[in-house]
């Protein structure tokens, strides 16, 4: 194991704030002065090791626990500040190293509590001395939490109809403090030795393998787990449950197990295959062994987000881990594989090397999202994930082109602000700029750089600049260096190297992408053999003629954009770095057209002035295959984005989609269809019936050849199957008679078979949705929902139920969701989201959210995924001034509504 200096990363100077200005300090719950006023903990005392003993009682639904924290005092101090939330502290005492050695009992400490900052202060009678180690012992207890955070309870129903309870943790970002008093910041890494008491009908799992089990008086068992590696508190995890598992061994000898409730055991096999494959991949790709002896992946019945990367004990929502061949579709398989790939990537990016503070959460999440792409391309090429990655970027561009976006690295202080950092900007934009950088540096150089970064910061924390530094100084043996950069033989002649010779400062370049918000628009104008390039900030919904346009532009500095382009005269990828506001590039030959952002690898939108768009439209109509599939996809995306910014007419964008009848690349075809459907839904919501009808006929007519050639079988490639699901869903939504007929037929057969008939998984949602339009069908689906053991199927049924045109049925669903029995609370946000997407449900869902805002906040934390999903789901389709006013009113009544915003 490498030598680690435990204190090197704490740089703040020791100050005894308390003595400086006592008036500046807050008041503790007992009325005394609390000796610390900042949200961040002082760095004078740092944890080295935690001994934790936890005893949850799954009948009384509470836990008692004790801990011993070994700390190092860096400067003399009179108090120790720790995080603690909703814990009852029973006793706290302190021993010096000497006391421990001579077994002297600990001295009791006074404990003060300051709940506003979720902190406690341990006051010591005598100043702790610098450079000495001490041991702090705390006894505490609490109820198992009701929600989805800290140490909480989760329940599931067995096949026999019995309800069983398990206890599980979920800590990221700031909830370890709900389970044990601790230094709950990512920089305070320590080792953890965990012991758990349980009844014999249960098992206990934690980050590390179990070393032994001791039988206690009265029949209780106590499991002792191996001490962890050095890690942050948010990655600690433990579970007490009665789950069963399947296991396998990775090439490196690591034991991988998938756990689920006993009746779901048969759905665990795909996850085992995928996690073994992906673990092998990552160990190889990073050239770093997964450092623990085992890795467990557990499907938790109640889970707030999709999954959580706890080191060695990854927890998942059931639908993110389990795969049921009878009811899971292609896109379900892609999702499960992606989530496994994502959480496994975190075992390196996040767990081994952690961001110093939450402002840089993108170093965890952006990388994990980026690695989904890299790992799936190699381990599951048949999933053709490479062709979906552009959508990852398109998704965040929608958000990032609004003024309300934020920089990738953004200040975050309070727990709510920290939670809000887990958004599309950190995840998707993070991944997209990494992908752009990889394209610029070459995959090989980029990989070397990130390996360098991971090795250098192993068991430690890092910040943005550390990454840029590793990426530009990543020389490994055998490489040559030039101008401070490193390259291997194969890249000696590459364009990239030429750029590097121009002395591109990586750090300077990447600062323009991470420290300022937004996305650039590159405006291209061809003037003879020259290309005039110009960059500005791209803003959706703000037109150049609008008065605020100027101010929104001025405040923004420039991006260093590594642009790429191809032309009619050469298929080569040309490169240039656009650092200035305007620049000119000379073409070597005369060309008919030029296309920027090759393969959509860059994070920028392109607008072609003059004849640029017309030339490209002509090209698409004449021979679209002269452009690469991802370039066609990018053109469709950019054109519609430019419409939203008033830079291109809708006519022109629609003109561009005309070639789609001949489009052979499914991602491009689906992108065109998506925008056309969006347009249709906007018109439909406005209740302009004649326009709606005309558009419906146009769409059905236009896509008739594609619709009519679809089979109702699970056959073909992943994209063939995605196309089938999308096209048939739209056709049935538009009431296309043959579609409705086929779906109705399958639904009746399914009902007659008492739900036993296997319907092809890719059309299952469509069949259920058509079936849900009759009262009998809807009621039957709700019955099946209660009985089904497949999360994948339950999601499909719930979606179908929420497409009903009857408001009383939609209301019943929402009530069931609020009750949390038949429809679990974890699924309420998605339910409100899909109900709001239903034209007959949008007003109902919005009214419900307005009227029940305080109730919803009791179920989900402000700033959390579910709350943001509820807000965006019920408001993002708003497009009129009146609707905007309604949101304004809601914010006035409930300021928290603004805080929960999603973009």
The helix-helix angle for 718-733 and 764-771 (nearest 10°) equals 10
- Give whichever of 67 and 365 is closer to Zn ion, judged by the CB atom: 365
Distance CA 381, CA 753 (A): 37
CA quadruple 585, 588, 589, 595: dihedral, nearest 10: -40
360 binds ligand BES (CB under 6 A): no
Lookup: tokens for 903: 């973009």
365 binds ligand BES (CB under 6 A): yes
Residue 172 contact among Zn ion, ligand BES, none, beta carbon within 5 to 8 Å by kind: ligand BES
Q: Is 365 annotated as a binding residue?
A: yes
Is residue 437 within 8 Å of residue 468, measured between CB atoms? no
Residue 706 contact among ligand BES, Zn ion, none, beta carbon within 5 to 8 Å by kind: none
What is the closest distance, in whole angstroms, from the C-beta atom of residue 240 to ligand BES in the complex? 21
Strand pairing report for 480-482 and 460-462: unpaired
Distance CA 311, CA 459 (A): 12
String marking each residue 663-682 x if it binds ligand BES according to CB under 6 A: --------------------
- Give whichever of 204 and 371 is closer to ligand BES, judged by the CB atom: 371
Distance CA 519, CA 408 (A): 12
421 binds Zn ion (CB under 5 A): no
903 binds ligand BES (CB under 6 A): no
What is the closest distance, in whole angstroms, from the C-beta atom of residue 861 to Zn ion in the complex? 18
Lookup: tokens for 74: 């860096």
Q: What Cα–Cα distance (Å) separates residue 749 from each residue in 422, 728, 801?
A: 44, 19, 19
- Give whichever of 368 and 504 is closer to ligand BES, judged by the CB atom: 368
Is residue 801 within 8 Å of residue 781, measured between CB atoms? yes
Distance CA 155, CA 166 (A): 6
Residue 283 contact among Zn ion, ligand BES, none, beta carbon within 5 to 8 Å by kind: none
Q: What Cα–Cα distance (Å) separates residue 836 from each residue in 32, 735, 833, 840?
A: 50, 20, 5, 8
Query: Which residue of 63, 183, 422, 485 would you call a contact of ligand BES, by CB under 6 A?
Result: 422
- Give whichever of 367 and 604 is closer to Zn ion, judged by the CB atom: 367
What is the closest distance, in whole angstroms, from the C-beta atom of residue 9 to ligand BES in the complex? 22
Q: From 108-116, 213-221, 335-343, 845-853, give the range in contact with ligand BES by CB under 6 A.
A: 335-343
Is residue 21 within 8 Å of residue 53, measured between CB atoms? no
CA atoms in the 13 A half-sphere facing the CB of 521: 21
Q: With b meaning 16 or more CB within 10 Å and e meaning fewer, what string describes 170-195? A: bbbbbbbbbbbbbbbbbbbbbebbbb
**Tokens 């100077």 appear where?**
13
239 binds Zn ion (CB under 5 A): no
49 binds ligand BES (CB under 6 A): no
Q: What angle do CA 183, 184, 187 make, to 5 degrees?
A: 85
Residues touching ligand BES, count (CB under 6 A): 16
Q: From 222-230, 300-308, 740-748, 850-858, give the range in contact with ligand BES by CB under 6 A.
A: 300-308
What is the closest distance, in whole angstroms, from the C-beta atom of residue 307 to ligand BES in the complex? 5
Lookup: tokens for 255: 């034991």
Q: From 267-275, 358-366, 777-785, 816-824, give the range in contact with Zn ion by CB under 5 A.
A: 358-366
Residues touching Zn ion, count (CB under 5 A): 2
Strand pairing report for 238-241 and 88-96: unpaired
Distance CA 178, CA 65 (A): 12
What is the closest distance, in whole angstroms, from the C-beta atom of residue 419 to ligand BES in the complex? 6
308 binds ligand BES (CB under 6 A): yes
CB atoms near residue 391 (< 10 Å):
16
Subset of 722-741 contacting Zn ion (CB under 5 A): none
Query: Catalytic positions, please?
Result: 343
Distance CA 131, CA 365 (A): 36
70 binds ligand BES (CB under 6 A): no
343 binds ligand BES (CB under 6 A): yes
- Give whichever of 422 and 799 is closer to ligand BES, judged by the CB atom: 422
876 binds ligand BES (CB under 6 A): no
Lookup: tokens for 344: 């496994």
For the sheet with 294-300, list strands across it: 244-249, 255-260, 294-300, 313-317, 307-308
Distance CA 408, CA 423 (A): 10
What is the closest distance, in whole angstroms, from the C-beta atom of residue 297 to Zn ion in the complex? 14
- Give whichever of 208 and 431 is closer to Zn ion, judged by the CB atom: 431
Residue 291 contact among Zn ion, ligand BES, none, beta carbon within 5 to 8 Å by kind: none
What is the closest distance, in whole angstroms, from the C-beta atom of residue 419 to Zn ion in the complex? 14
Q: From 147-155, 197-205, 342-350, 575-583, give the range in contact with ligand BES by CB under 6 A.
A: 342-350
- Give whichever of 314 and 792 is closer to Zn ion, judged by the CB atom: 314
342 binds ligand BES (CB under 6 A): yes
Residue 339 contact among Zn ion, ligand BES, none, beta carbon within 5 to 8 Å by kind: ligand BES
371 binds Zn ion (CB under 5 A): no
- Give whichever of 524 and 869 is closer to ligand BES, judged by the CB atom: 869
- Give whichever of 175 and 226 is closer to ligand BES, judged by the CB atom: 175
Query: Which residue of 305, 377, 744, 807 would you call a contact of ligand BES, by CB under 6 A?
Result: 305
368 binds Zn ion (CB under 5 A): yes
In sequence order, the 6+-apart residues with CB closer than 8 A to the CB of 428 are 369, 392, 393, 395, 396
Residue 523 contact among Zn ion, ligand BES, none, beta carbon within 5 to 8 Å by kind: none
Lookup: tokens for 30: 């007992």
What is the closest distance, in whole angstroms, from the C-beta atom of residue 23 to ligand BES in the complex? 37
The DSSP 8-state label assigned to residue 231 in this structure reads: B
What is the closest distance, in whole angstroms, from the C-beta atom of residue 815 to ligand BES in the complex? 26
Whether residue 173 is preceded by a cis peptide bond, meaning omega within 30 degrees of 0, is: yes
Query: Which residue of 309, 324, 387, 684 would you call a contact of ligand BES, by CB under 6 A?
Result: 309
C-alpha gyration radius of the chain: 29
SS3 595: strand
For the sheet with 110-114, list strands across it: 77-83, 119-128, 110-114
Distance CA 816, CA 644 (A): 38
What is the closest distance, in whole angstroms, from the C-beta atom of residue 476 to Zn ion in the complex? 28
- Give whichever of 318 and 365 is closer to Zn ion, judged by the CB atom: 365
366 binds ligand BES (CB under 6 A): no
SS3 168: strand
- Give whichever of 172 and 793 is closer to ligand BES, judged by the CB atom: 172
Query: Which residue of 338, 595, 724, 837 would you call a contact of ligand BES, by CB under 6 A?
Result: 338
Residue 574 contact among Zn ion, ligand BES, none, beta carbon within 5 to 8 Å by kind: none
Phi, psi dihedrals of residue 536, rounded to the nearest 5°: -150, 175
Q: From 338-346, 377-385, 750-758, 867-875, give the range in contact with ligand BES by CB under 6 A.
A: 338-346
307 binds ligand BES (CB under 6 A): yes
306 binds ligand BES (CB under 6 A): yes
String marking each residue 139-178 x if it binds ligand BES according to CB under 6 A: ---------------------------------xx-----
In sequence order, the 6+-apart residues with CB closer than 8 A to the CB of 560 are 504, 508, 509, 512, 577, 578, 579
Closest CA to 175 of 230, 232, 228: 232
Distance CA 391, CA 330 (A): 17
**Tokens 């009665």 appear where?**
242
> Residues annotated in the binding site, as ranges?
342, 346, 365
List contacts with ligand BES (CB under 6 A).
172-173, 305-309, 338-339, 342-343, 346, 365, 368, 422, 865
List contacts with Zn ion (CB under 5 A).
365, 368
> Residues annotated in the binding site for Zn(2+), as ranges?
342, 346, 365
């Amino acid at each position: 194991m490498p030598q680690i200096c435990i204190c090197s990363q704490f740089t703040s100077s020791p100050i005894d704030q308390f003595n400086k200005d006592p008036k500046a300090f807050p008041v503790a719950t007992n009325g005394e002065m609390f000796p610390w006023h900042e949200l961040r903990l002082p760095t004078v005392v740092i944890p080295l090791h935690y001994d934790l003993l936890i005893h949850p009682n799954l009948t009384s639904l509470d836990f008692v626990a004790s801990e011993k924290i070994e700390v190092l005092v860096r400067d003399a101090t009179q108090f120790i500040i720790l995080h603690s939330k909703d814990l009852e502290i029973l006793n706290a005492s302190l021993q010096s190293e000497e006391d421990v050695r001579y077994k002297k009992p600990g001295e009791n400490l006074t404990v003060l509590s300051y709940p506003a900052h979720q902190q406690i202060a341990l006051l010591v009678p005598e100043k702790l001395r610098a450079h000495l180690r001490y041991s702090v012992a705390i006894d505490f207890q609490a109820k198992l939490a009701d929600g989805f955070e800290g140490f909480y309870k989760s329940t599931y129903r067995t096949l026999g109809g019995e309800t069983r309870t398990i206890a599980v943790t979920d800590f990221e970002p700031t909830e370890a403090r709900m389970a044990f008093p601790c230094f709950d910041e990512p920089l305070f890494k320590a080792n953890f030795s965990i012991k758990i008491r349980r009844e014999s009908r249960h098992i206990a799992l934690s980050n590390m393998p179990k070393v032994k089990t001791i039988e206690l008086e009265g029949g209780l068992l106590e499991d002792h787990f191996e001490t962890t590696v050095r890690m942050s508190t948010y990655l600690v995890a433990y579970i007490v449950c009665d789950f069963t598992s399947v296991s396998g061994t990775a090439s490196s000898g690591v034991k991988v197990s998938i756990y689920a409730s006993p009746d779901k055991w048969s759905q665990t096999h795909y996850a085992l295959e995928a996690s073994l494959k992906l673990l092998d991949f990552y160990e190889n790709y990073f050239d770093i062994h997964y450092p623990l002896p085992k890795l467990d992946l557990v499907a938790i019945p109640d889970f707030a987000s999709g999954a959580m990367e706890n080191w060695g004990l990854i927890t998942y929502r059931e639908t993110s881990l389990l795969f049921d061949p009878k009811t899971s579709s292609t896109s379900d398989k892609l999702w499960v594989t992606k989530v496994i790939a994502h959480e496994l990537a975190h075992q390196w990016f996040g767990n081994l090397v952690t961001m110093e503070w939450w402002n840089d959460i993108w170093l965890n999440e952006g990388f994990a999202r980026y690695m989904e792409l890299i790992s799936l391309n190699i381990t599951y090429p048949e999933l053709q994930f490479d062709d979906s990655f552009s959508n990852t970027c398109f998704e965040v561009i929608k958000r990032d082109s609004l003024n309300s976006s934020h920089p990738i690295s953004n200040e975050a202080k309070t727990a709510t602000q920290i939670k809000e950092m887990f958004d599309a900007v950190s995840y998707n934009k993070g991944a997209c700029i990494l992908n752009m950088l990889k394209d610029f540096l070459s995959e090989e150089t980029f990989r070397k750089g990130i390996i360098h970064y991971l090795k250098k910061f192993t068991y430690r924390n890092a910040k943005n600049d550390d990454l840029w530094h590793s990426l530009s100084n990543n020389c490994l043996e055998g490489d040559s260096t030039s101008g401070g950069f490193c390259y291997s033989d194969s890249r000696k002649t590459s364009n990239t190297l030429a750029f590097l010779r121009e002395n591109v400062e990586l750090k300077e370049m990447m600062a323009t992408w991470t420290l300022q918000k937004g996305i650039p628009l590159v405006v291209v104008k061809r003037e003879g053999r020259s290309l005039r390039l110009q960059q500005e900030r791209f803003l959706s919904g703000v037109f150049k003629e609008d008065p605020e346009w100027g101010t929104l532009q001025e405040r923004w500095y420039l991006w260093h954009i590594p642009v790429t382009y191809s032309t009619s005269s050469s298929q080569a990828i040309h490169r240039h770095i656009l650092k200035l506001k305007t620049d000119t590039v000379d073409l070597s030959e005369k060309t008919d057209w030029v296309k920027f952002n090759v393969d959509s690898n860059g994070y920028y939108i392109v607008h072609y002035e003059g004849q640029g768009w017309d030339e490209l439209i002509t090209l698409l109509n004449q021979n679209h295959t002269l452009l690469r599939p991802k370039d066609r996809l990018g053109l469709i995306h950019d054109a519609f984005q430019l419409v939203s910014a008033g830079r291109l007419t809708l006519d022109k964008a629609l003109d561009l989609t005309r070639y789609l009848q001949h489009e052979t690349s499914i991602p491009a075809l689906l992108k065109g269809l998506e925008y056309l459907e969006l347009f249709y839904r906007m018109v439909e919501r406005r209740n302009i019936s004649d326009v709606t009808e005309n558009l419906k006929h146009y769409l059905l007519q236009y896509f008739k050849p594609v619709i009519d050639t679809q089979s109702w079988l699970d056959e073909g490639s992943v994209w063939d199957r995605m196309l089938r699901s999308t096209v048939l869903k739209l056709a049935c939504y538009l009431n296309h008679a043959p579609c409705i007929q086929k779906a109705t037929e399958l639904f009746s057969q399914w009902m007659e078979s008492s739900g036993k008939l296997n319907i092809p998984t890719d059309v299952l949602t469509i069949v259920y949705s058509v079936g849900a339009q009759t009262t009998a069908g809807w009621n039957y689906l709700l019955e099946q929902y209660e009985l089904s053991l497949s999360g994948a199927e339950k999601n499909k049924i719930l979606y179908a139920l929420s497409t009903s045109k009857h408001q009383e049925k939609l209301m019943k669903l929402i009530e069931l969701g609020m009750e949390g029995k038949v429809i679990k609370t974890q699924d309420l946000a998605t339910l409100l989201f899909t109900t709001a997407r239903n034209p007959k449900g949008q007003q109902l869902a919005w009214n419900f959210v307005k009227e029940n805002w305080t109730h919803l906040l009791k179920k989900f934390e402000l700033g959390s995924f579910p709350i943001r999903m509820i807000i965006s789901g019920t408001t993002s389709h708003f497009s009129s001034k009146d609707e905007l006013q309604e949101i304004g009113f809601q914010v006035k009544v409930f300021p928290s509504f603004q805080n929960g915003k999603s973009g």
